[in-house]
Amino acid sequence: MKLIIGLAVIWVVVIFFKTEDFIYVALTVFIFLIGYFGSRQGAIFTDNRESEEGSDKRSDKGKYEKSTLTKDKSKEFLRTLKVLMDTEKPYLETKISLKDISERLKIHPNHLSQVINEELNINLYDFVNGYRVEEFKKRLTEDESRKFTLLAHAYDSGYSSKSSFNEVFKKFTGLTPSQYQKQLYS
């Protein structure tokens, strides 16, 4: 409302005071007032990461408050999801998405996301990457594995870039892929 009043005052000054000095002074005062009232809006200058983390830590009950998914259905969907991951291995596809998986399972994407978040306390990204890391580790134990580079195994495990693979692998295992390989073969 203050913004509208300020703009109205500017127009009054422009219409009735045709000298440039009044217009410049009115615009300057208006800009300073916008800055002053804008800086008093505390929510604008907060760190979004803290507020997002805080909302995740508080609880997901509010997030899924209106969901029609029952606990029994959630458990059933989780079992179905794990069977899909173990049999069809969609995590090997580099561009797999929540929509892709939900279409294969014939589950609404919101429900699938809710199942992963509530039942496993992780997001889809970490869920898929957990399978990819395990696939990579399994590939390193195979007899033919020494014929291929670590990066080739990473690509075969569903990763599309070396940097994301290294970052995720270290997050899950606490080791770099080469450290893991040395540990495995020693």
The 10s digit of each residue's pLDDT in 67-111 is: 889 999 999 999 999 999 999 999 999 999 999 999 999 999 999
Angle at which helices 2-16 and 20-39 cross, to 10° = 170
Distance, CA of 113 to CA of 118 (rounded, Å):
8
Mean pLDDT of the chain: 85
Decide yes or no: CATH 1.10.10 for domain 128-185: yes
Domain locations along the chain = 2-45, 49-121, 128-185
Any residues with CB less than 8 A from the CB of 111 and at least 6 apart, and which?
Answer: 67, 69, 73, 74, 77, 102
* Structure tokens, 129: 């990457």
The pLDDT assigned to 61 comes to 59
How many residues does this entry show for the chain? 186
What's this model's pTM, rounded to 2 decimal places? Answer: 0.66
- 23 near 17, Cβ under 8 Å? yes
